[in-house]
Amino acid sequence: MKHALISLTTTCLALAGMTANLATAQDAFQPKHKLVGIPHDSGFPDGHDPYNSMGCASDGKIYYVLSADKYDVGARMFCYDPQTDAIKFISGLTEACGEAGKNSIVQGKSHVNFVESAGKLFFASHLGYYSSFDGMEKMGIPPAGWTGYPGGHLLSYDMASGKFEDFGIAPDREGIISFNMDTNHGRAFGITWPSGIFFRFNYATHGMKVFGKTCALGEAGKGPDYRTVCRSIAVNPVDGSAWYSTSEGNIFHYRADTDSVELVKGDNLKKDYFGIYDPTSPGHMGYNWRQTVFRAADQMIYGVHGNSGYLFRFDPRQEQIEVIDRITSEPSKASGMFDQFSYGYLGFALAHDGKTIYYLTGGPIYQNGRRVAGKASTAMGEAKGLEDLHLITYDLEQRVYQDHGAIYYPNGQRPLYVNSLTIGLDGTAYFLARITENGHTRSDLISVKP
């Protein structure tokens, strides 16, 4: 009897330990903290899924563009003042491009972040109206009585006068999906969509140089000619260099001294940690970097690989990649799975302190201990299922990662389709996301404090 009691006690203790371990394991998949994201109503009910299209200017105001996905409703630009908690409508992008009333497919997006120089915000426009073929987004076919998309524009906005300046249209009248600027030398760099044409523009002379397609036929291609186009161009304003990546993992360098583009031979982005990809297959960014920033303090390019969520840095002088850390959410790390957004996340920014990376990334959702499944695959950039949005910070100097928790609206909803981020002067994070109110879903400005 005594042995039976000992056995029963041992069994109970073992079961209790298993239960505790199970609870601990399940806790690893749940967000430990919650942050409150505050929606700001811009008064644009047609706002739809923005990408980048933000910036915190030197005046402390947040400038942003809300996209639209209709052929006749264009994107709109706004300004939010944190001091007064007021939003100002600036202009429609179609109107800023001088195309209002022309019955051409409107300027539906800005897919790039603002770059400030000499009191002006420089950026570019993009299309927002698409047609679907084989599950992939292509240039929108105009309805009867309308003409096709006229091409993305290089634009600037004067913050003092409120005036726009139009510097012209992208090569082959495509959209402009990637943009950055060398503010010291007055040069812009862009990549078009869908073909992936890289170009350089001189604001002083209005001269454009086109270097051709960066990656086979880009997202206009099919089968072996298909490649996902790079979404981020890194720029060193000291020497005027620029860099972009390809889905094969190559890095290309624009050299200002020769006004030419050359392959970086020392290293590439084809790393085992990032995963294994077929560059000709749609639905992922391949070995492309997703988002990058140039850090003046150490002259390094910091970036994130989209699908895997690995933070890395690229030393342009040594032509060397260093993989630093995986900066996905804690629940994603615990699950070992890629996040649900097929391309990864564009919400990656360097704070004003020059050393802290902010990153908005997804976390898996679990019900009754099981992950809520989404689509197995997709042929375009989209969320494959619901996920929790987490705010991550990473101190580049101390190498310290912190997951600040999942973000929820005051009504308990989760922000969805988040691929934008800018940091206010006080450290507040601002992004653009879907929100549903009164039975209507729109995309709008959201703020959250770590």
Strand partners, 394: 357, 401
Residue range 269-290: mean pLDDT, rounded: 96
Give which of 48, 56, 117, 110 is closest to 83, Cα–Cα: 56
Tell me how far apart the alpha carbons of residues 103 and 91 are, in angstroms, rounded to a whole number. 18
Q: Which pLDDT belongs to residue 16?
A: 44
CATH code, domain with 339? 2.130.10.10
Tell me how far apart the alpha carbons of residues 378 and 386 are, in angstroms, rounded to a whole number. 15
CA distances from 48 to 86, 101, 139 (A): 21, 22, 17
pLDDT digits (tens, 9 = 90+) for 5-35: 445 444 444 444 444 444 444 555 555 679 9
Tell me how far apart the alpha carbons of residues 202 and 208 are, in angstroms, rounded to a whole number. 6
- Whether residue 312 contacts residue 323, with contact meaning beta carbons closer than 8 Å, is answered with yes
Amino acid at residue number 79: C
Amino acid at residue number 417: Y
C-alpha 60: how far from chain center: 22
pLDDT > 60? residue 203: yes
Q: pLDDT band for 386, please (50, 70, 90 cuts).
A: confident
Q: Which pLDDT belongs to residue 4?
A: 44
pLDDT > 80? residue 281: yes
Q: Is residue 22 domain-resident?
A: no
Rounded to two decimals, what is the model's pTM? 0.92
pLDDT > 60? residue 3: no
pLDDT digits (tens, 9 = 90+) for 83-125: 999 999 999 999 999 999 999 999 999 999 999 999 999 999 9
CA distances from 50 to 177, 253, 340, 371, 377 (A): 12, 28, 17, 27, 22
Residue 205 structure tokens: 């002379």
Q: Is residue 23 domain-resident?
A: no
Q: Is residue 185 domain-resident?
A: yes
Residue range 60-72: mean pLDDT, rounded: 98
Give which of 407, 426, 247, 422 is closest to 347, Cα–Cα: 422
Instruction: Give the structural domain span for 416.
Output: 36-448
Handedness of CA 269, 274, 279, 282 (dihedral sign): negative
Q: How many domains does the chain have?
A: 1
Output DSSP code: residue 23: H
pLDDT digits (tens, 9 = 90+) for 134-177: 888 899 999 999 999 999 999 999 999 999 999 999 999 999 99
Q: Which pLDDT belongs to residue 27?
A: 53
Q: Is residue 426 domain-resident?
A: yes
Q: pLDDT band for 236, please (50, 70, 90 cuts).
A: very high
Output DSSP code: residue 281: S
- Whether residue 152 contacts residue 138, with contact meaning beta carbons closer than 8 Å, is answered with no
- Whether residue 261 contacts residue 211, with contact meaning beta carbons closer than 8 Å, is answered with yes
Sheet arrangement for strand 153-158:
115-117, 120-124, 153-158, 164-169
DSSP states along 107-168: --B--S--EEETTEEEEE-B---EEEETTEEEEPPPPTT-B-----EEEEEETTT--EEEEE
Q: Is residue 27 domain-resident?
A: no
Residue range 62-69: mean pLDDT, rounded: 98
Tell me how far apart the alpha carbons of residues 393 and 402 are, in angstroms, rounded to a whole number. 5
